[in-house]
DNA sequence: TTGCCTAAACGAAAT
DNA sequence: GTTTAGGCAA
């Protein structure tokens, strides 16, 4: 997949672009005694255009709403919970609620804080509010939890030992740091790994534990706990020394800030009068606490105006406990289920009418989710009618399943559904491989959302580390990363020498680099360090000049210039271009792409500096680069799919151990969460829903037998039309019907139940090496190798033979070069489109 | 210190 | 299956 980062940023940026006219002074709390009441800063320019007839405006915003939606838009009070079933129009309700507040002049834009989970959702909300009320929407904070917190922390960082140019460590950075620490403390002897440690630290931070509070809870007789405490302490100190926050810190540190400095909190409590939170079911404890802090009534005496506001902000939360799928990230479903207890007097509005899907799809969703006990009963319904039946398909293998999907997509396309209205969902990113292989061969345009992200690529992290080293010289992790990238002959030994020099002389690591000649190292190494150091200084100076310049866009364009400078003068780009590794060429292109991203950033954010740029790239999310206008089928995980909708949806890999994932079995509430995930997937579909699975799935290099997911049986049989049911899958060319069944044979004859493959029982899903029968019977229909037919020339009329589809005749050839596509009519397999370059075909004479 | 090789480990979801 | 850790020669 090619990079879409430019588009991502372009959009994400527009959220921050209109500098808030009513924004708070840049560091209002630097002087605690001179707290400025926020109201002073609001220019009248942001006042909504006064509508001559506010009531008319109101009714315009209420148009087309059902009674419950209307209540949700109009209710005014301290706390409102909108329980919004899937597809019940909650975004519409949220945006209209905001628009109404603005239009009725109940709130200034700057008094509104709306929190969403992704930048994309934030951008969409902003657009929709803007469409309703125009310019009056400017100045609202519509952002994710994380970007809102970064914004606050950058302003207030100096209160607790950080500076505003702090770095944000993503999970990769976090693990790299932990890896070092675990090694230094030899904590691996106690079973600590970067991944389990980061999970544990993350969990603690989401519970608002810090090193001190955690140390009070541990059993001091348990050496393992003591070692972990050491790791945690060292990690925390390393972050502070590097002037860095990890993802979880962004939320928890903001809460700590508010708790430690009530006068700081008071500013935000006074400022935000209306707080709206989307996807409330996915908030974790830290996020919940943040909301609590923000909606608290400001402490008396902190407001210098006579017209002291004593009430806390009004809170509107929207959510659906049936769609809570982020428990693994610390989301606490109780935040929403106990909302009424948390906020006494809260109004609850239930939205059950669905405007998205057909009744068949909703009935399936309702049936599935009703198997989760311990939930408030809620039934989605629609007025649009039953619609098509759900289509089921069982393939012999993942490739077979993928082929079915590709064929169905072509059928849908021929029937008039655009590729961009079609999506394929899967549980794990690893499942994309089979889909991609088939889609490429079928010449189906597709896009993978999320997965390995642009910003996680090593070369991009390298390039960004250069920028970070300039923006935040305290960040030793970034410095270490670039120290020997490209290869300069600066190895671990030299690095240690620099670090101990810094420590012994009480200077920073960065300063030690400047004084490298005092280290007594070899001349080659010394000059390498000095050169790098000088380059970083040069970049820093260039940025300072730009900031000092009076041209409005100077600092933004400087980011790109500085990145170019760093990449060129460091020799990084050259080293990639001159490398023998053919992949390095693509890496160099990616670096160029990143430079292009900075240019795009400059265009969208004339005032943005290097720190703003780095913040943006740290917080882009998997779902953010969705661009439905590209005419491609969208592939994504079920998690990424939340909040999206498509005309046709393919839910793939509906198998035991995949959905529910085998890892979920050990976790309390695991199967229920997996069921919600399935539910989320089902409810993304507007008109057509396809459920597919495979009988064998190649994973981890082995082929394993797959069982139909238990959730399949929860869907009433009459809703599904099985093209090939799990009981009727025949091996290719074989006649024997092989039945596979879910763990327990259902008493009903939902699908014909025969016997399990010999030797395979429910608990034993892996073929032993000896039993080769399944492999031969269901050998992958597609070889994993990508072939290259090179310059195979085909013209209409040619006869060809395909490895899977057999003989056929070429009807037409379209496309250019490597993308030439043959339209072939096969004798038995029907019409297919094939990418000539890689299709397993031979020309017949 | 780098680069190349083999051996072994490791496989979920993501702001 | 892919990525990473470690060993060894240049």
Query: Which of A95, A167, A267, A323 is labelled catalytic?
Result: A323
Q: What is the pTM of this model?
A: 0.82
Q: Is A199 annotated in some ligand binding site?
A: no
The answer on pLDDT for A215 being more than 70 is yes
**DSSP H/E element including A541:** helix A523-548
**Residue-level length of chain A:** 845
The answer on pLDDT for A777 being more than 50 is no
**DSSP H/E element including A150:** helix A145-156
Give the nucleotide with minimal C1' distance to the Cα of A118.
B15
What does the DSSP 8-state code read for residue A235?
A: H
The angle subtended at Cα A226 by Cα A225 and Cα A228, nearest 5°, is 65
pLDDT band at A628 (very low <50, low <70, confident <90, very high): low
The pLDDT score that the predictor gives to residue A28 is 35
pLDDT band at A300 (very low <50, low <70, confident <90, very high): low
Among residues A318, A319, A299, A321, the alpha carbon closest in space to that of A309 is found at A299
**Could you identify the residue whose CA is nearest to the C1' atom of nucleotide B11?**
A700
The pLDDT score that the predictor gives to residue A629 is 60
Phi, psi at A833, each rounded to 5°: -105, 135
**Could you identify the residue whose CA is nearest to the C1' atom of nucleotide B12?**
A428
The answer on pLDDT for A510 being more than 90 is yes
Phi, psi at A112, each rounded to 5°: -105, 130
pLDDT band at A6 (very low <50, low <70, confident <90, very high): very low
Q: Between A762 and A485, where is the model more confident?
A: A485
**Tell me, in Å, how far CA of A176 is from C1' of C4?**
14
The pLDDT score that the predictor gives to residue A392 is 94
The answer on pLDDT for A724 being more than 90 is no
Give the nucleotide with minimal C1' distance to the Cα of A638.
B13
Angle between helices A476-483 and A458-471 in degrees, nearest 10: 130
Question: Side-chain half-sphere of A655: how many Cα atoms within 13 Å?
Answer: 30
pLDDT band at A276 (very low <50, low <70, confident <90, very high): very high
The pLDDT score that the predictor gives to residue A16 is 34
What does the DSSP 8-state code read for residue A92?
A: H
Give pLDDT tens digits for A371-403: 988 788 888 889 888 999 999 999 988 888 999
**Tell me, in Å, how far CA of A481 is from C1' of B6?**
27
**Tell me, in Å, how far CA of A330 is from C1' of B13?**
12
The answer on pLDDT for A470 being more than 90 is yes
Q: Is A85 annotated in some ligand binding site?
A: yes
Give the nucleotide with minimal C1' distance to the Cα of A780.
C1
Query: Which of A91, A337, A630, A724 is labelled catalytic?
Result: A91
The answer on pLDDT for A211 being more than 70 is yes
pLDDT band at A730 (very low <50, low <70, confident <90, very high): low
The pLDDT score that the predictor gives to residue A153 is 96
The answer on pLDDT for A561 being more than 90 is yes
Cβ-contact A164, A155 below 8 angstroms: yes
Kindly report the number of other CB atoms within 10 A of residue A618's CB atom: 21
The pLDDT score that the predictor gives to residue A9 is 41
- The answer to which of A149-158, A341-350, A583-592, A643-652 has the lowest mean pLDDT is A583-592
The answer on pLDDT for A289 being more than 90 is yes
The pLDDT score that the predictor gives to residue A769 is 32
- The answer to which of A95-99, A260-264, A350-354, A721-725 has the lowest mean pLDDT is A721-725
**Tell me, in Å, how far CA of A642 is from C1' of C3?**
30
Q: Is residue A461 annotated as a catalytic residue, yes or no?
A: no
Q: Is residue A684 annotated as a catalytic residue, yes or no?
A: yes
pLDDT band at A706 (very low <50, low <70, confident <90, very high): confident
Q: What percent of chain A has pLDDT over 90?
A: 45
Q: Is A90 annotated in some ligand binding site?
A: yes
State the average pLDDT over residues A633-641. Answer: 92
**Tell me, in Å, how far CA of A700 is from C1' of C1?**
6
Sequence-distant (6+) residues with CB within 8 A of A516 are A498, A525, A526, A529, A530, A533
The answer on pLDDT for A100 being more than 60 is yes
The pLDDT score that the predictor gives to residue A783 is 29
Q: Between A754 and A539, where is the model more confident?
A: A539
The answer on pLDDT for A611 being more than 80 is yes
State the average pLDDT over residues A81-103. Answer: 92
The answer on pLDDT for A548 being more than 70 is yes
State the average pLDDT over residues A464-478. Answer: 94
pLDDT band at A525 (very low <50, low <70, confident <90, very high): confident
Q: Could you give the CA distance from residue A760 to residue A739 in angstroms, rounded to a whole number?
A: 12
The answer on pLDDT for A137 being more than 50 is yes
The angle subtended at Cα A230 by Cα A228 and Cα A231, nearest 5°, is 65
Q: Could you give the CA distance from residue A234 to residue A218 in angstroms, rounded to a whole number?
A: 17
Strand C nucleotides, any atom under 7 Å to a protein CB: 1-2, 5
Sequence-distant (6+) residues with CB within 8 A of A143 are A15, A114, A115, A116, A119, A122, A151
Strand B nucleotides, any atom under 7 Å to a protein CB: 1-4, 10-15
Cβ-contact A693, A401 below 8 angstroms: yes
Cis check for the bond before A651: say yes or no (omega within 30 of 0).
no
Give pLDDT tens digits for A413-458: 999 999 999 999 999 988 998 898 899 888 888 888 876 578 888 8
E strand residue ranges, A48-206:
79-84, 112-116, 141-144, 167-169
Q: Is A139 annotated in some ligand binding site?
A: no
Q: Between A725 and A467, where is the model more confident?
A: A467
The answer on pLDDT for A751 being more than 50 is no
Sequence-distant (6+) residues with CB within 8 A of A238 are A177, A181, A476
Kindly report the number of other CB atoms within 10 A of residue A315's CB atom: 25
- The answer to which of A3-7, A247-251, A394-398 has the lowest mean pLDDT is A3-7
Cβ-contact A538, A588 below 8 angstroms: no
The pLDDT score that the predictor gives to residue A701 is 75
- The answer to which of A97-101, A251-255, A401-405, A440-444 has the lowest mean pLDDT is A440-444
Query: Which of A15, A124, A279, A612 is labelled catalytic?
Result: A279
The pLDDT score that the predictor gives to residue A750 is 36
CA distances from A330 to A203, A267, A317 (A): 7, 29, 18
The pLDDT score that the predictor gives to residue A29 is 36
- The answer to which of A321-335, A385-399, A480-494, A754-768 has the lowest mean pLDDT is A754-768
**Tell me, in Å, how far CA of A464 is from C1' of B4?**
28
Q: Is residue A322 annotated as a catalytic residue, yes or no?
A: no
Q: What average pLDDT is seen over chain A? A: 81
Among residues A724, A60, A35, A822, the alpha carbon closest in space to that of A393 is found at A724
The pLDDT score that the predictor gives to residue A575 is 87
The pLDDT score that the predictor gives to residue A208 is 95
The answer on pLDDT for A253 being more than 90 is yes
Kindly report the number of other CB atoms within 10 A of residue A666's CB atom: 7
User: What residue has token string 């931070």?
Assistant: A205
State the average pLDDT over residues A175-189. Answer: 87
Q: Between A333 and A586, where is the model more confident?
A: A333
The answer on pLDDT for A699 being more than 70 is yes
The pLDDT score that the predictor gives to residue A262 is 94
The pLDDT score that the predictor gives to residue A822 is 82
As a three-state string, the secondary structure of A432-497 is HHHHHHHHHHCCCCEEECCCCCHHHCHHHHHHHHHHHHHHCCCCHHHHHHHHCCCCCCCCHHHHHH
CA distances from A401 to A48, A70, A325, A691, A799 (A): 54, 44, 26, 10, 27
The pLDDT score that the predictor gives to residue A626 is 55
The pLDDT score that the predictor gives to residue A627 is 59
Q: Could you give the CA distance from residue A674 to residue A440 in angstroms, rounded to a whole number?
A: 30
Q: Between A279 and A824, where is the model more confident?
A: A279
The answer on pLDDT for A131 being more than 70 is yes
| Residues near chain C strand, CB within 7 A | A 179, 433, 700-701, 784
- The answer to which of A656-670, A777-791, A812-826 has the lowest mean pLDDT is A777-791
Q: Is residue A90 annotated as a catalytic residue, yes or no?
A: yes
Cβ-contact A751, A737 below 8 angstroms: no
The pLDDT score that the predictor gives to residue A805 is 77
Tell me the three state secondary structure of residue A277: strand
Q: What percent of chain A has pLDDT over 70?
A: 83
Strands A702-705 and A696-699: what pairing? antiparallel
């Amino acid at each position: 997949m090619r990079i879409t980062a430019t588009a991502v940023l372009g959009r994400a940026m527009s959220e921050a672009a209109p500098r808030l006219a009513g924004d708070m002074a840049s560091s209002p709390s630097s002087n605690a005694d001179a707290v400025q009441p926020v109201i002073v800063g609001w220019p009248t320019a942001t006042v909504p255009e006064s509508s001559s007839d506010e009531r008319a405006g109101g009714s315009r915003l209420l148009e087309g709403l059902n009674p419950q939606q209307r209540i949700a838009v109009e209710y005014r009070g301290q706390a409102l919970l909108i329980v919004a079933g899937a597809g019940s129009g909650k975004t519409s309700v949220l945006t209209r609620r905001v628009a109404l507040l603005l239009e009725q002049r109940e709130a200034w834009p700057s008094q509104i804080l709306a929190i969403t989970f992704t930048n994309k959702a934030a951008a969409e909300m902003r657009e929709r509010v803007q469409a309703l009320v125009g310019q009056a929407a400017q100045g609202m904070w519509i952002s994710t939890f994380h970007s809102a917190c970064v914004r606050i922390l950058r302003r207030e960082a100096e209160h607790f030992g950080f500076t505003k140019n702090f770095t944000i460590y993503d999970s990769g950075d976090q693990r790299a740091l932990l890896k070092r620490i675990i090694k230094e403390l030899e904590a691996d002897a106690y079973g600590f790994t970067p991944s389990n440690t980061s999970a544990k630290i993350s969990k603690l931070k989401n519970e608002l534990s810090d090193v001190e509070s955690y140390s009070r809870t541990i059993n001091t007789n348990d050496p393992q706990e003591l070692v972990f405490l050491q790791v945690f302490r060292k990690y925390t100190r390393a972050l502070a020394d590097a002037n860095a926050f990890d993802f979880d810190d962004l939320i928890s540190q903001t809460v700590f800030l508010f708790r430690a400095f009530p006068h700081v909190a008071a500013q935000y409590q006074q400022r935000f009068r209306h707080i709206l939170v989307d996807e409330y079911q996915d908030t974790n404890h830290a996020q919940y606490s943040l909301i609590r802090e923000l909606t608290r009534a400001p402490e008396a005496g902190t407001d210098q105006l006579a017209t002291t506001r004593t009430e806390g902000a009004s809170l509107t939360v929207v959510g659906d406990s049936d769609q809570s799928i982020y428990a693994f990230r610390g989301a606490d479903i109780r935040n929403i289920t106990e909302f009424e207890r948390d906020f006494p007097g809260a109004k609850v509005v239930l939205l059950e009418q669905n405007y998205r899907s057909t009744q068949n799809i909703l009935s399936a969703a309702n049936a599935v989710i009703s198997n989760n006990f311990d939930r408030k009963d809620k039934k989605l319904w629609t007025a649009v009618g039953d619609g098509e039946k759900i289509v089921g398909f069982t393939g012999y293998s993942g490739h077979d399943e993928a082929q079915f999907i590709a064929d169905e997509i072509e059928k849908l396309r021929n029937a008039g559904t655009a590729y961009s209205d079609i999506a394929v969902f899967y549980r794990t990113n690893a499942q994309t491989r089979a889909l991609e292989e088939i889609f490429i061969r079928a010449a189906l345009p597709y896009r993978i959302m999320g997965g390995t992200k642009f910003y996680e690529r090593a070369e991009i992290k390298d390039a960004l580390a250069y920028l970070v080293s300039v923006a935040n010289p305290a960040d030793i992790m970034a410095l270490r990363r670039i120290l020997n990238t490209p290869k300069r002959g600066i190895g671990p030994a030299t690095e240690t020498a620099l670090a101990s020099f810094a420590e012994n002389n009480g200077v920073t690591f960065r300063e030690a680099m400047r004084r490298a000649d005092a280290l007594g190292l070899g001349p080659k190494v010394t000059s390498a360090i000095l050169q790098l150091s000088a380059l970083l200084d040069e970049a820093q100076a260039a940025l300072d000049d730009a900031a000092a310049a009076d041209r409005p866009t100077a600092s933004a364009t400087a980011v790109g210039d500085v990145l170019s400078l760093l990449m060129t003068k460091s020799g990084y780009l050259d080293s990639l271009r001159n490398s023998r590794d053919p992949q390095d060429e693509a890496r160099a292109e990616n670096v160029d792409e990143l430079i292009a991203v900075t240019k795009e950033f400059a265009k969208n954010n004339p005032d943005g500096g290097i720190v703003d740029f780095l913040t943006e790239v740290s917080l882009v999310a998997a779902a953010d680069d969705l661009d439905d206008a590209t005419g491609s089928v969208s592939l994504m995980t079920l998690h990424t799919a939340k909040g999206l909708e498509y005309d046709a949806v393919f839910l793939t890999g509906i198998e035991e151990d995949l959905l529910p994932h085998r890892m979920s079995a050990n976790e309390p509430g695991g199967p229920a969460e997996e069921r919600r995930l399935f539910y989320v997937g089902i409810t993304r579909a507007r008109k057509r829903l396809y459920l597919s699975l495979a009988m064998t799935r190649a994973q981890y290099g082995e082929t394993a037998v797959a069982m139909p997911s238990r959730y399949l049986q929860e869907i009433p049989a009459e809703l599904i039309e099985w093209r090939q049911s799990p009981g009727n899958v025949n091996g290719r060319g074989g006649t024997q019907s092989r039945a596979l069944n879910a763990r327990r044979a259902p008493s009903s004859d939902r699908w014909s139940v025969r016997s399990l493959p010999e030797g395979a029982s429910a608990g034993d899903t892996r073929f032993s090496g000896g039993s080769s029968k399944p492999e031969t019977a269901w050998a992958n229909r597609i070889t994993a190798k990508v072939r290259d037919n090179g310059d195979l020339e085909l013209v209409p009329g040619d006869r060809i033979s395909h490895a899977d589809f057999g003989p056929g005749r070429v009807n037409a050839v379209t496309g250019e070069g490597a993308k030439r596509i043959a339209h072939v009519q096969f004798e038995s397999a029907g019409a297919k489109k094939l990418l000539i370059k890689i299709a397993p075909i031979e020309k017949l004479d």
